[in-house]
Structure 1
Amino acid sequence: MDGSPTRQRLLTLTGVDKVFGGEVVALRGLDLDVFEGDFISLLGPSGCGKSTALRLIAGLSHPTSGRIAWEAGEQSLSVVFQEPTLMPWATVAQNVWLPMRLKGQGFAAVRGEIMDALKLVGLEKFQNAYPRELSGGMKMRVSIARAMVTHPKLILMDEPFAALDEITRFKLNNDLLAMQAKLGCTVIFVTHSVFESVFLSDRIVVMAARPGRVIEELPVTAPYPRTEEFRTSAEYAAWCRGASDALNRAIGAA
């Protein structure tokens, strides 16, 4: 999608710097416009500030300078980390309940919403299972369900599939796009993978390190839904080459 005037601007980062300890420059001059319904991938080498940018957007840290502005007032958001971070003593349903529990909502009152979220990730039959009984991919599905149960406007995802095998990763990529289409949420997704960024995104923001900054922004104009046919197409391969070239320029600029 292209930031057209028919879609509302959700979030704007303007000239954002982040410095740690007075000397480590994690981000410098980061500018980013986020529109409703965007799927944006932050692509770049380790140390380029991708995860730092997510933490700033989430409010888990604050910029040293610059501005992060929600265009229509601060909106609801959820974060999915690289590790599922599930509570081992709680069932799948209880783990998904957590953000609502923190708001004082009882389990019985929101059970329908919890089950809807589990159905969205294909885990409704595992509602009473414990994390130790689940595969890595299933644990990540629980984490995604927990992020989506409150129907946030924005979901921030920090390399959520990096530790998974390729088959599971491809399946979760497919499912994530289907979930985004159903919920109509905006996603900002951190990845090191050119192939993943092209398959998922309508915009790829390529970053360089030392200091972390945006080098290029690449639109991916292939229509959704994206299927396995797209994944094996010449069009997909061409976009992957373009993203790979941009990533190599970012690495060379570090």
Structure 2
Amino acid sequence: MSAAQISSTVEASLTALAVSLRGVTKTYDNGVMALGPLDLAVCKGEFISLLGPSGCGKSTALRIIAGLSAPSSGTVRVARHEGEVQPGHGIGFVFQEPTLMPWTSVRENVRLPLKLGGVAKAQGRARADEALASVGLTDFADAYPRELSGGMKMRVSLARALVTDPDILLMDEPFAALDEITRFRLNNDLLALWRALGKTVIFVTHSVFESVYLSQRVVVMTARPGRIQADLRIETVEPRGEEFRTSTAYSDYCRRVSAALAPSYSGQSTL
């Protein structure tokens, strides 16, 4: 293979990636090594879940990808709209808590990233309304957070993350505090949004069942310092729905993921 062909192959592999972590570690000032070395590649348009025990570095990895925290070592690359690979571009972040401003309306909460980015008010309101429509909250644009249920607040948080039209959506256990019925409903809604919008999604969860239901890949992490214990592909007929949740295939995948996760909880690793 010629040098030009090699260069073309490398370039094609990079543009196909949304996120690439190579040898990433994170050690805090108190000496705790939270992460790594971690190697992770996520393709554009892929939905993956990071699954592991508390304190294994899942949220730390998400914050590093978002550019909210710097790695102690290693390389982080995040794809631009144009296909170039650069850090910290085109990212939406949904945190564990909705973190809504209680003194203003749902629409203004969603518009906030555009307001901070200097987008004109009229344009920002129109885009906020579009984002609210995508999560089924058109009728609540003028409501205040105190008037919403927990699930609705999380929908607002998701709309706020989507309002900038990011390429990559990072979600840090967004449904963990919700009741099971609401969580199932939001899982279905999130999958529908992912199919419609084509975003790359990296979803942090403690739930084996949620990770298998949502993801194309489940990345199982070890106990701290977090590394990859297993990377399991979930291959099913799309679109997924309740028939998948009650299927033999779903049960089998849950067992496989649970088995991969078990060493992390026992303090052992197969690495």
Q: Same fold, TM exceeding 0.5?
A: yes
Q: Which has the higher contact order (CA 8 A, sep 6+)?
A: 1
Equivalent position of 1:70 in the other structure? 78
Distance in 1 of aligned mates of 2:35 and 2:164: 30
Offset, 1:249: 2.2
Distance in 1 of aligned mates of 2:36 and 2:18: 22
Q: In the alignment, does 2:72 pair up with 1:60?
A: no
Offset, 1:22: 5.5
Q: Please, what TM-score do these two structures have when normalized by structure 1?
A: 0.95
In 1, are the aligned partners of 2:96 and 2:174 still within 8 Å (CA)? yes
What 5-or-longer segments of structure 1 have no aligned partner?
Answer: none
Equivalent position of 1:25 in the other structure? 33
Equivalent of 2:207 in 169, 193, 196: 193
Structure with greater Cα Rg: 2
Moved more, 27-36 or 112-121: 112-121
Aligned length: 251
Deviations 1:14-60 (A, max 9, x none): 00010012521101210000110111100000011000000100111
Deviations 1:183-235 (A, max 9, x none): 11000000000000000000111001122111110000113211101111111
In structure 1, give the amino acid aligned to 2:121. Answer: F
In 2, are the aligned partners of 1:151 and 1:183 still within 8 Å (CA)? no
Q: Within 5 Å, which residues of 2 pair with 1:151-166? A: 151-166=165-180
Offset, 1:251: 1.9
Q: Please, what TM-score do these two structures have when normalized by structure 2?
A: 0.89
Q: In the alignment, does 2:53 pair up with 1:50?
A: no
SS of residue matched to 1:189: strand
Equivalent position of 2:110 in the other structure? 96
Deviations 1:96-116 (A, max 9, x none): 101100011122123222111
In 1, are the aligned partners of 2:65 and 2:78 still within 8 Å (CA)? no
Superposed CA RMSD in Å reads: 1.6
In 2, are the aligned partners of 1:118 and 1:142 still within 8 Å (CA)? yes
Q: Within 5 Å, which residues of 2 pair with 1:91-240? A: 91-240=105-254
Distance in 1 of aligned mates of 2:92 and 2:78: 15
Q: Within 5 Å, which residues of 2 pair with 1:6-21? A: 8-21=16-29
What 5-or-longer segments of structure 2 have no aligned partner?
Answer: 1-11
